[in-house]
Amino acid sequence: MTRLGLSPAPVPPVFSPADAERAYDEWGCNCGPTALAAICGLTLDAARELLPGFDAKRYTNPSMMGEALRAAGRGSRQIDPLECFPAWGLLRVQWEGPWTAPGVPIRARYRYTHWVGAARRASDGEKGVFDCNQLANGSGWSSLEDWRAVTAPWLILQIPRASGGWHITHAIEVER
């Protein structure tokens, strides 16, 4: 969905694939800080500073993301992912596997989640996804359909014991 004219239009992040690799090597940057930076127009290092506890945990839970958005001065609200897709915001994806079976503690699921940016074009409702794993395309953005067909299956293949399914646990609308 690189520059497909979503309104508000998705723009390439202010960081490059090389910046993302450097941040990964230096401090373990991953999907949480990358999605936050892309949606808020931040550098990766600035996103890191807004995520309380990231350096110790190396993951971003929903509470941490909410705190980071407040610290960035961005209004946000959680929306029902079954009813609405953010016009501009963030999605937390849960990869499915034995950790999502009934009776498994909810904390066991946290290790198998992924943050992406989200945008919806006002004119026709086309949905797009920013994923740090798509940065090689020049912007990190793709249509939701392409993300579902290409990126998500590739990511799932990297997860031992994953069942192949996924669902959205959190959808957050973020003010631009």
3 within some domain: no
Q: Which two tokens stand for residue 148?
A: 């579902």
Q: Which two tokens stand for residue 21?
A: 């690799």
8 within some domain: no
Give me the pLDDT at residue 123, please.
86
Helix intervals (H) in 59-143? 62-71, 106-109
Give the tens place of pLDDT for each residue, 23-43.
Answer: 999 999 999 999 999 999 999
Note whether 151 and 142 are within 8 A (CB): yes
The DSSP secondary-structure symbol of 9 reads P
Give me the pLDDT at residue 81, please.
92
Q: Which two tokens stand for residue 87?
A: 């016009």
137 within some domain: yes
Q: How far apart are alpha carbons 143 and 128 in whole angstroms? A: 4
151 within some domain: yes
7 within some domain: no
5 within some domain: no
Q: 12 vs 36, which has greater pLDDT? A: 36
Q: How far apart are alpha carbons 76 and 106 in whole angstroms? A: 24
Q: How far apart are alpha carbons 94 and 10 in whole angstroms? A: 24
Choose among 30, 17, 18, 11: nearest CA to 155. Answer: 30
Domain range for 75 is 17-174
Looking at the predicted structure, is the pLDDT value of residue 11 above 80?
A: no
Q: Which two tokens stand for residue 28?
A: 């373990």
21 within some domain: yes
Q: Provide the number of structural domains found in the chain.
A: 1
Average pLDDT for the chain: 93
Share of the chain above pLDDT 70, in %: 95
Give me the pLDDT at residue 12, please.
84
Q: How far apart are alpha carbons 10 and 143 in whole angstroms? A: 11
Res. 5 pLDDT band, cuts 50 70 90: very low
Give me the pLDDT at residue 73, please.
97
127 within some domain: yes
Sheet holding 88-95, edge to edge: 76-79, 166-174, 88-95, 113-120, 127-130, 141-143
